Amino acid sequence: MDPVIVEQLGRAHPLAAHLDDFLTDLANAGASPHTRRAYRGGLLQFAAYHHGEIPALSATPIRAYLAESAELSAASRKRKRAAIASFSKWAVRHDLLQANPLDRIGTVKVPKTLPRPAKAADVAKGASPRGSGLRRSARSARRSTARTAQVRFPPCASTAVRGSCGGARSSGGAGRLPGVRRGRRIRR
């Protein structure tokens, strides 16, 4: 059993074994360690709040738990709800619950924010807000343009796109540019 679950809940807690099985299934499914850690934290907080068996898990204790976290930011409340929702869905799939109690609870809306504008001092010295210099990106753009200008085509390149080179019709191979088919350039 997960040592963090044992430390915070103890082996005797009614949800401890189920939480450990859920987190093991997440790990086997290839979930990120960050996701597993976040789900474990949210579920441990919920399990400390709800002391009943898993069949007693209904919308009422979940609503009460989420109501107690009302002072947190919307993103934190949404993360806690997502952990409980994922655990509930897992419990339904494993026939531990008859129905998912979160089907009766609405989602948490996280307000969308606009990106912050660059500081005037950063713009004046030619740096972007993330710290990479605009001058450096302009220099690399000039280099890539110079490399593109050095590409040379065969003398009949303009007619090769239409499928003929030197006035004779070709059946596909001779006179065509590599990567050109039926008059369109193929992206690579």
Q: Where are the domains of the chain?
A: 3-104, 120-151, 153-188
According to CATH, the topology of domain 3-104 is DNA polymerase; domain 1 (1.10.150)
In what helix (H) or strand (E) does residue 184 lie, and over which residues does it extend?
strand 184-185
**Over residues 46-54, mean pLDDT:** 86
Q: What does the block give as tokens for 67? A: 């109501």
pLDDT in tens, 94-106: 999 888 888 877 7
Q: What is the amino acid identity at position 143?
A: R
Predicted model pTM: 0.57
The pLDDT value given to residue 188: 57
| Rounded alpha-carbon distances, angstroms, from residue 47 to 73, 80, 100, 115, 117 | 21, 12, 17, 37, 42
Radius of gyration of the chain (CA): 30
Quick one: pLDDT band at residue 170, thresholds 50, 70, 90? very low
User: How many residues are there in the chain?
Assistant: 188
Q: Greater confidence, 130 or 107?
A: 107
Dihedral angle over CA of 25, 31, 35, 36, nearest 10: 30
Nearest to 9 by CA among 50, 39, 38: 50
Q: Quote the pLDDT of residue 130.
A: 54
Q: What is the DSSP string of 102-121?
A: GGGSPPPPPPP-PPPPPPHH
